[in-house]
Each structure stands twice: as C-alpha cells, then as structure tokens.
Amino acid sequence: MTSQSKPKYYLTTPIYYVNDKPHIGHAYTTLACDFLARFKRLDGFDVCLLTGTDEHGQKVEKAALDAGVSPQDFTDSVSQNFRDLTGSLNFSNDDFIRTTESRHKAACQALWNLLRDRGHITLGSYSGWYATRDEAFYTESELVDGMAPTGAPVEWVEEPSYFFNLSHWQDKLLAFYEAHPDFVGPDSRFNEVKSFVAGGLRDLSVSRASFKWGVPVPNDDDHVMYVWLDALTNYITATGWPVDGNFGDAEKYAHLWPADLHMVGKDILRFHAVYWPAFLMAADLPLPKRVFAHGWWTNEGQKISKSLGNAIDPLALADQYGLDQMRYFLMREVPFGKDGDYSTQAMIHRMNGDLANDLGNLSQRVLSMVFKNCDGVMPAFPERPTAEDKALIAAADALLPAVREQMDRQGFHEALRLIWQVIADANRYVDAAAPWALKKTDPARMAEVLAVLAEIIRQVAILVQPLMPDSAEKMLDQLGVVADQRSFAQIGGATRLASGHVIAKPEPVFPRYVEEEAV
C-alpha cells in the first residue's frame, strides 16, 4: 500500500516562539501530537506531523538586541534548541518549519496578496493597546488593572497599519461553528470562542511599521506583517501552498490540506479558532477540521514563572526518571485539556504504581514463568478457553476501538486508563489462576494460563508503542513478536501470539524508582 493510498492524517503543534529556551509546555504539546501521530501510523494512516519555530516579531527583535546579536543569528541558535528537543524526547515529526525560511516567506506574501486583491486588507492607522509579550492587541475593556488579561504589560501604540476586515466574518464564523460542533475542543473552550465572536469582532491590525524583523509586506517596505498572520500561515506553507509558487507542491497540498488537527495551548486558542479560520475563509481556502486547546502545568502547586525560577526542564526530567516514564506521566496524570500540577511524588507514584507494579511486574513474572516452567518455549493459546480466559481475552480484544475513540477526541488520559484497566484485569486473573501452583497439579493448564497472559501483554505492548516506544519494543522483543507484526492490524483478535519459539530470560522493563536519600 502506498502512502497516497492510505487515509491521511495531518496534525500540527503550534510553532514555538524563540525568545526563550524550550520548557515543559513545549514538550507537553509536542508529546501529545507525537502520541497521536504514532498511534495513527500504527492504525494504518499516512501521517504528517509538523512542528517548528516562530521567529519574527518585536519580542524576538528585542531579545536579539539584548543578547548583542542579529535577529537571524539569535533565531538560528534558539531554533536549534527546539529542533534538538524533538530528537532528545523521541518525537516523530515529519517536518520542522522555521518562519525565516524562504518557502514560508513566499507563502505569507502569497496569502497577503490574495487577501489584499480580494479587498480584505486595506491601509489605515492603528491606535490602541498592544502587549509585546503576547504579540497581541487588546481593547480597553479587556485590560485588567492596566494590564493584558494574560498579565503582560501593555503600551499605547499609534502607527500606520494595514487592517484585515475581521468584523466582516463574525456571522460567517458563528455559522461555521454551528455547522461544525467538533471544531474546537474541549467544549468549555469552544464556548469561550463562540462567546468572544458573538460579542463582536473589530477589524484586525495585520502589519507593524515600528520595527523591521518580520515578513515584508508586498509592495510596501515600510511595513512587516503582524506576527500572527505570519505564524499561522506555516500550517499551509508546509503542505506546498501556494501550489503555483517557487516552492509549490500541488500533489502534497491536495493530499494534506485541510489539517485534521491543530494542537495548541489554551492561551493561543483565539488566534487559531477565530483569526485563522477568518483568514482562510477570506482566501477561499478550506478550514482545518479541529483545534484542540490543552491546559497549563503548575509546579508543586505554584504557577511556573521566570521570577520564581521554577521552570520544569523536560530534558532533566527524562534524564532523572527515564524518557518513556516521563512521556507516560505527562499524558496520564491529568485529563488532557485541563490544567495540571507536576509534583515529584506524583511522578514517582505513576512510575512505581502504573509502570513498575502493574505493567512491568505483569510482564516480568509471566515471562519468567514461561522461561523457567516451560523451558523458555512460548506455550500455545488454549483450544478450549475457560470462561475466565474468554473474559480477559474479550476485554483485550475490545481495547483498540475504545482507545481509538478516545484518541480521536484527544482523551489521551482516558485512552491510557482503558488500557490499564485490562492490565489490572490481567493481574487479578494471574493471582486467581495461580500458575505457579498449577505447575505441580496441572502443568497443561499452567501453560494455557501463561499463553493467555502472554497474549494480553502482546496486545497491551502494541497499544502503548505510541507513547512508550522504547519500552514497548523491549516487551515485544522479549515476547518474540517480529518487527512486521507490531501494528494495530495484528491485535483485537486478528491474530494471536505465536507459540513454539524460545524466549530469552526476561529483563525488567520498568524498574522501580527509589529516591536517593538526602545527604
């Protein structure tokens, strides 16, 4: 099957602003997308996962000035930190885009020309409140104690500006939301978006004349594009749009666009669920199918901030606890879409409870019994399974459609809960069946029990590959599952674990974590 004959799935992270080094928020968003992208690949989709860096704007220009380097040199350095993060945390992105790339500048200017030629962008003058930190404009009514609603300081700006006729799209956006009830998730965030749009939209300033670090406005060297018009365009740049440009790819664009999912933090939902759809409507381009806004992390109950110096370094977490362990914790600990709190104790609880005790111990003791009590030969699946065998196998066989449904709605924590429910069932089954006792009284039944359990472990290991690829690979290697038998097409009763092959002595995949005592 060629990639073009598979159903496609195109998902994106936001592109990350390069005025600082990567932190847990960047890792969280990209991990969620990586988890979903890997899941979709194993489920038979041709996946494109896009991430990258947002490198223009007043904030970046100032950060470069403070660092004593040119904006391009500054962005080259910081962007590389984000590119390095994708490798260090085992993210499987298919493309990494930078807004300073020629392909992106060409797409931005093509979109600008299209909007201008259709009469949706006109020259005027802007006076109002602007927050450089947010790269966003705010009305007087939105200010809280003289600050932006995000807490960022604002300044009064008066300068010539091009405007996009956002107010023209208010009713069209509300009609679109009504026709597409799954466009924004979770529902609480969608309600916020609809309320914002229903409250009235003003035309949007889409250029700046007070600084130079940005995509030049076509035919007007005094202006650069507003950073959000520039940044949002990356999602179509990467598809080969415009197809008739120097970087065009008509086949790729037709295959990938519209995007299936834009994953964003809740703080930038408005740009993705209001401005971006309006730009696309005005350009007569298809709209993305879904935007999902996740929550923020706190650290041991405290808001993460530079002033507190309590930023969470994802690389340090992975080094201390293990990469797959960290990936599991971030997706399992908090209902995805809500805010969550990181704590060391919560991390250790997940590692030692869910991973070491539940999944790790199940796999280790079952395979150890096969190695010891069956001469290392994988036993055959029972020809006449008992009611208990059937119940456990049925639970495992039913996992994929249930997990798939949760993944499609970004219920990542719930998808994992469903898998761990079957792991708990398997642990209860092994305790009740007591294969260590059957060795003496009924060795044939012992072999059947171990075969049933090994099949459960196989299905679970295949299902957790998207989140914990290295650990799942070790489990499947120990089971003797060959590399081309590890996709979702091989679970749910389609096949069973092969028998008759010799396994090596199993090694623990999820060792318990023991805190070092303070000196």
d(C-alpha 397, C-alpha 349), whole Å: 28
264 beta partners: 293
Q: What does the pLDDT read at residue 4?
A: 61
Q: What is the side-by-side strand order in the sheet with 216-217?
A: 207-208, 220-225, 216-217
- In this structure, the strands spanning 220-225 and 207-208 are antiparallel
**Residue whose C-alpha is closest to residue 306's, from 19, 55, 28:** 19
Which domains are present in the chain? 343-490 (1.10.730.10)
Phi, psi angle pair for 155, to nearest 5° = -135, 150
**Other beta carbons within 10 Å of 220:** 13
Phi, psi angle pair for 327, to nearest 5° = -60, -45
* Overall residue count recorded for the chain in this entry: 519
For 423, the token pair is: 């792991």
By the 8 A CB rule, do 334 and 413 touch? yes
For 221, the token pair is: 């060297």
Q: What is the side-by-side strand order in the sheet with 204-205?
A: 136-138, 121-131, 155-164, 204-205
Q: What does the pLDDT read at residue 506?
A: 96
Q: Mean pLDDT for the chain?
A: 94
Q: What does the pLDDT read at residue 38?
A: 98
d(C-alpha 344, C-alpha 347), whole Å: 5
**Residue whose C-alpha is closest to residue 99's, from 267, 211, 216, 261:** 216
Where helices occur in 374-468 by DSSP H, the ranges are 387-397, 399-408, 412-433, 435-441, 443-464
Question: What's the first-to-final CA gap in the chain, in angstroms?
Answer: 59
Distance of CA 30 to the CA centre of its chain: 4
Q: What does the pLDDT read at residue 292?
A: 98
Q: What does the pLDDT read at residue 1?
A: 37
- In 226-301, DSSP assigns E strands to 261-265, 291-294, 297-299
Q: What does the pLDDT read at residue 516?
A: 65
Sign of CA dihedral 482, 485, 491, 497: negative
d(C-alpha 89, C-alpha 27), whole Å: 8
d(C-alpha 357, C-alpha 349), whole Å: 10
350-386: pLDDT as tens digits: 999 999 999 999 999 999 999 999 999 999 999 999 9
pLDDT in tens, the chain (519 residues): 345 689 999 999 999 988 777 888 899 999 999 999 999 999 999 999 999 999 999 889 988 999 999 999 999 999 999 999 999 999 999 999 999 999 999 999 999 999 999 999 999 988 889 888 888 888 888 999 999 998 999 999 888 999 999 999 999 999 999 999 999 999 999 999 999 999 999 999 999 998 999 999 999 999 999 999 999 999 999 999 999 999 999 999 999 999 999 999 999 999 999 999 999 999 999 999 999 999 998 888 888 776 677 888 899 999 999 999 999 999 999 999 999 899 999 999 999 999 999 999 999 999 999 999 999 999 999 999 999 999 999 999 999 999 999 999 999 999 999 999 999 999 999 999 999 999 999 999 999 999 999 999 999 999 999 999 999 999 999 999 999 999 999 999 999 999 999 999 999 999 999 876 433
- Report the amino acid identity of residue 348: I
